[in-house]
A and B are shown apart, each in its own frame.
Chain A
């Protein structure tokens, strides 16, 4: 954590007083990604948070995103 905070201060101009908060949020993002990656169906994570329509919108946008990325590759 200390190494990470120092690196953020050194490379990303994060202020001393903000370093702990920024580092904590970035680490939370990494942990959350690893948690979701461990799920067989990542969309399950949404089940209790949003509606079926939202999940459909997410799936549709995922397909568009994958298509755009494939075109550019």
Chain B
């Protein structure tokens, strides 16, 4: 059984990074691919974790291996969180709507539609993480040099 750790407090850097990402989205620097606002809060928290790890590495507090592992975990966490939330916020209402319009005899059509929506969300989530990662790097080039 998986063990859940205590919920961490929101950090100031999460808020600052979230504002930076949301501002970048509004300015068109990160293409809006239709994911909910929640996704930009996730990117903000992810960015502060990556920044903290890079700073710890620069101070010699963690090894390069630790840095890479932590960034990997951060990216996977952010991606999973975006997909889970997008599924909850976007897919569920869409699928409920489709189901309400079609008779039960067309359940195969509904299943195909459900699969399509879910796959699309996974692709879009990956796309947003990649865009967010590239944007973060372009803003803090010195940290990644």
Contacts and interface: CB of A to CB of B under 8 A. Distances in A.
Chains A and B come from one and the same complex? yes
Interface of A: 3-4, 7-8, 11-13, 22, 25-46, 49-50, 54, 57-58, 61-62, 64-66, 68-69, 72-73
Contacts, number: 146
Nearest to A13: B26
| Main secondary structure on A side of the interface with B | helix
Given A12-B23, A31-B10, A44 B2 contact: yes
Nearest to B76: A62
Contacts of B87: 49-50
B80 A66 contact: no
Nearest to A68: B130
Contacts of B14: 30
Interface string B2-35: 1111111010001100110011001000000000
B58 interface: no
A14 to B, nearest CB: 8
B42 A33 contact: yes
Contacts of A73: 137, 144
A57 B61 CA distance: 36
Decide if the interface of chain B is mainly helix, strand, loop or mixed: helix
Chain B interface residue bracket vs A: 35 or more
Contacts of B26: 12-13
Contacts of A68: 130
Nearest to B39: A29
A66 B19 contact: no
B133 interface: yes
B126 A37 contact: no
Given A39-B2, A46-B80, A72-B134, A32 B38 contact: yes
Contacts of B141: none
A23 to B, nearest CB: 9
B118 interface: yes
